[in-house]
A and B are shown apart, each in its own frame.
Chain A
């Protein structure tokens, strides 16, 4: 991707040049607008969450997804009914992309009874059986075997669903990831391993933590194919997602997608992100912002006017404001909830 021109980036992870990348299929107008809307929802939701954290309404760890929106949204566009999604603690964007109610997600962030986990899970632990979202996991890498197990169940039950299993560049160094890779290929499990390579695991850059920084090759010793994808371009993400899902549904086993992305904010709310130059962040925001890319295409192609986009923006701000309002005023869980849900 073009970001390779940034020296900091180039050092951190050699990127495939955009010339050799597969040609990116264009989106229809509807797809562009849908992607725009979804990504904007995540962006505005996360900005609001950050603000509410600053006001003391959200506590503990809170990892924002700002910058990475194209991955959750593009991959979701490649999913079908019944597919499962599982991710790490950086989960708000995925939950919104899966269609979970912004109010329930925000109220979980504030620990209220209307939250997705009744206020008992918090930012890092949210789930939705109805939307096929299996968490929200706080231990780095732990979701990878779980996602593999979801795929095991798909194969066992004989359906053609796929498990979308997301993890970070840091998590990619956990042993259980490779235990999972081995079993997934051995048993041809329908799982898409999506490495969200945002170049940093907390303050540790990929270059400082990984012997092999091309995560698409991390499956090679298990014969799992992989692909590097421009994770800032929602069209590229969806196209790769489509190819991967097709591969899995056809019974070929797992596949790895390395999504090259960037988080604009610190690792969590209390991380001032001093380990990377401001210019690096600024450059990504200015030149590769996933939402701006769609916006620019919509305007340039005359598929939408500034006015129409402003309207969408206003609608989304309203949804987010309502979620924030609900999450600020909903009651805390009943004290008796402490003892519920421990067992069935």
Chain B
């Protein structure tokens, strides 16, 4: 059967081009892969290859022809044994034109049919907790955030052999900030693995191991160094499940201290909460208390998705009450009311909670009763808990150490505008880090970070006091 050679496109947007040159002439034998002709557009030149074998029976478009439409038959190839001279070329060409129509019918359905809804249905977390996270009468013990994190990892490693810890100085040195203290002794070098200083490599290795079914906990000495590994976290960990049509899950935890420590200056003082929370396919957790650190880290390790677990160096040494339970889990995606109040809602997370809670104490002295919401999870964000609080108070202030633009506060403000505008009695205000890299000088560093006084002032402002 004779086949038509069609005018090809150099790109999906090309509609026509010039048939610059024929490299074969009528009657020539043609093998698949042979170059038949050259076509040109203003941008590039391309070769037309034969994909069928036979004889070039007829050239339908002479060389030098301009404005040849894509998919126009430009030649006919007769199959082996077919008499090229007797082919009814004209009717073949018409058939080709019909064939083109048919091909277009087979082409993608019109956008109207295939266009997805532009906005996902808003998914709110379930309304207020059914059962308390900490059962009535549970015995509490006092511990640091550091110890709580270590205990969470140790418990999960005892529970599941495929959980392992990977990172710089996590084993022999017991962790640069001693969070992995004792893990090497208990679990051995197979499961507590010191890496070279190779963030991008070991983050990717962790993702690969997770794709193969292991449960890596990848520690970044600080999240500042996770910038080296950003590509693997976003392009490999966060997107693979989606790109594989649900086949490749990535149960991995990336954890380490995030945000400003003290006097370590611009390159080592950055809050990545907003960065990671921008990315679908990740969960982002940032606990404040030791109990939340423990319960959320355990949940993160069990989660089938990549979880960014943002700790804070300054909080590592803070002590809190932690329930003494065999298996204490805190669900990812649920905010916590850290303090009940009537007049104004203050929303924060991680170390931002220190400002929020102190400000609430100050405000109380001035007769303002603040409700403080600890987000705990940045993504997926528990809008429902924030909105429930704002329904009551009508006023809201957000607090974070990170930069204001496109920050976590900005996201909360947008959600309140979209979903709770009618409940607001004043514009929402953000308290955030200064819009500048972190300076080294002690005095400047202090100025760069938010303060309790600023939170108090913002709360009063939204209450018109």
Contacts and interface: CB of A to CB of B under 8 A. Distances in A.
A44 B19 CA distance: 25
B247 A156 contact: no
B106 interface: yes
A115 B147 CA distance: 48
Contacts of A115: 245
Interface stretch (A10-18, A52-60, A73-81, A245-253): A52-60
Interface stretch (A177-185, A206-214, A232-240): A177-185
Nearest to A148: B205
A84 B209 CA distance: 12
A328 B106 contact: yes
A150 B211 contact: yes
Contacts of B106: 328-329
B114 A146 contact: no
A155 B79 CA distance: 54
Interface stretch (B43-51, B168-176, B409-417): B43-51
A86 B244 CA distance: 13
A182 B196 contact: yes
A344 B238 CA distance: 11
A285 B33 contact: yes
B208 A134 contact: yes
B242 A341 contact: yes
Interface in A130-145: 134-139, 142, 144-145
Interface string B203-218: 1111111111110000
A47 B232 contact: no
A318 to B, nearest CB: 14
Nearest to A184: B205
A127 B235 contact: no
A331 interface: yes
Interface residues of A, number: 72
A179 B202 contact: yes
A342 interface: yes
A99 B114 CA distance: 30
Interface in B206-239: 206-214, 231-232, 235-236
A270 B208 contact: no
Name which of A129, A150, A341 has the most chain B CB atoms within 10 A of its CB.
Answer: A341
Interface stretch (A90-98, A223-231, A297-305, A332-340): A332-340
B114 A142 contact: no
A130 B241 CA distance: 15
Contact of B201 (A57, A183, A264, A339): A183
B202 A128 contact: no
Nearest to A58: B12
A147 B208 contact: yes
Interface string A253-285: 000000000001000011010100000000001
A121 interface: yes
A120 interface: yes
Contact of B8 (A55, A186, A264): A55
Nearest to A155: B190
A68 interface: no
A332 B108 contact: yes
A150 B11 CA distance: 36
Contacts of B117: 335-336, 338
A179 B195 CA distance: 10
A176 B201 CA distance: 5
B197 to A, nearest CB: 9
B204 A328 contact: no
A157 B232 CA distance: 23
Nearest to B203: A145
Contact of B208 (A50, A152, A285, A340): A152
B200 A176 contact: yes
Interface string A167-196: 000000001100110110010000000000
Contacts of A179: 196, 198, 200-202
A92 B11 CA distance: 19
A148 B236 CA distance: 14
A203 interface: no
A148 B103 contact: no
Contact of A135 (B108, B206, B231, B240): B240
B214 A332 contact: no
Contact of B107 (A270, A285, A328): A328
Nearest to A342: B280
Given A59-B12, A332-B108, A343-B241, A149 B208 contact: yes
A1 interface: no
A142 B103 contact: no
B231 A121 contact: no
B245 A121 contact: yes
A125 interface: yes
B51 to A, nearest CB: 5
B243 A272 contact: no
A9 interface: no
A53 B70 CA distance: 12
A116 interface: yes
Contact of A138 (B120, B235, B247): B235
Given A145-B202, A338-B116, A56 B211 contact: no
A48 interface: yes
A341 B203 CA distance: 22
A144 B280 CA distance: 24
Contacts of A146: 204-205, 207-208, 211, 232, 236
A270 B241 contact: no
Nearest to B246: A341
Q: Which one of B33, B46, B244 has the greatest number of beta carbons of chain A within 10 Å? A: B244
26 contacts: A44-B51, A47-B32, A50-B49, A54-B8, A54-B9, A55-B8, A121-B245, A125-B243, A127-B243, A127-B247, A128-B247, A129-B244, A135-B244, A145-B204, A145-B207, A146-B205, A148-B205, A149-B212, A153-B213, A156-B190, A157-B212, A183-B201, A332-B113, A341-B244, A341-B245, A342-B281
Interface of A: 44, 47-48, 50-51, 53-57, 59, 84, 86, 111, 115-121, 125-129, 134-139, 142, 144-150, 152-154, 156-157, 175-176, 179-180, 182-183, 186, 264, 269-270, 272, 274, 285, 328-329, 331-332, 335-344
Which 10 residue pairs across A and B have the least CB separation, nearest first?
A149-B208, A179-B201, A145-B204, A54-B8, A153-B212, A179-B198, A335-B116, A118-B245, A146-B208, A127-B244
Given A127-B240, A127-B243, A148-B205, 10 more contacts: A44-B32, A50-B49, A125-B243, A125-B244, A128-B247, A135-B248, A270-B10, A270-B11, A331-B109, A332-B108
